[in-house]
Amino acid sequence: MNTRTLLIVTAAIEIGAGLALAILPSAAVSVLLGLPLDSPVGLAVARIAGVALMSLAIACWLVRDDADSRAGKGLVAAMLVYNGGAVAVLAYAGVGLDRPAVLLWLAVVVHVIMAAWCGASLKRMRED
C-alpha cells in the first residue's frame, strides 16, 4: 500500500482515539486498560493526549496528497516513532497490569502494524 493510504488510515485511527480521550478520557482508558482513570491529573493528561492525537490526525490528513514530499517523509518518520513508542508503553502496561483488557493487546497489534507500515513507507521513499 502507498504512503497516501497510510496517512489516511492513520488520520482515521488517531482522530477516533483522540476524540475518545479528549471527550471521555475515563471511559477510553478504562476500555483500553481495564482500569478506571479516576484522578483529576490523569484526566487532564489523557485529554491533552487526545488533543495531541487529533493534531497528528489533522497533520496526516492534510499531507495525504503530498505524501512523498519532505514534509510527508518527516510526518511518516514521526508516526513511526509514535507507533513504536505506543507499542512499548502499551506492552509494558499489559505486562504490568494484573488483569489487562483484551483491547490493550489489540491496540498493541494495531500499533505494531502501523509502525511496520511506516517503516516500509520510509524505505520505499528512500529508494525512489
Question: What is the residue-averaged pLDDT of the chain?
Answer: 94
Q: How confident is the model at residue 98 (pLDDT cuts 50, 70, 90)?
A: confident
Does the pLDDT at position 99 exceed 90? Answer: no
Residue 101 has a pLDDT of 77
Residue 49: which H helix or E strand, with range? helix 40-63
pTM for this prediction: 0.91
Residue 101 phi/psi, 5° resolution?
Answer: -75, 150
**How confident is the model over 103-118, as a mean pLDDT?**
96
Residue 127 has a pLDDT of 83
Query: Angle at the Cα of 82 (from 80 to 88), degrees rounded to 5?
Result: 105
Residue 97 has a pLDDT of 79
Q: How confident is the model at residue 3 (pLDDT cuts 50, 70, 90)?
A: very high
Q: How do residues 8-38 score in pLDDT, each as one tens digit?
A: 999 999 999 999 999 999 999 999 988 889 8
Does the pLDDT at position 100 exceed 70? Answer: no
Quick one: cell of 33? 486498560
Within a 10 A sphere around the Cβ of 70, how many other Cβ atoms?
Answer: 9
Q: How do residues 33-73 score in pLDDT, each as one tens digit?
A: 888 898 999 999 999 999 999 999 999 999 999 988 999 99
- The alpha-carbon radius of gyration of the chain (Å, integer) is 15
**Domain locations in the chain as residue ranges:** 3-127
For helices 25-33 and 102-127, what crossing angle results, to 10°? Answer: 90
CB 13 within 8 A of CB 110: yes
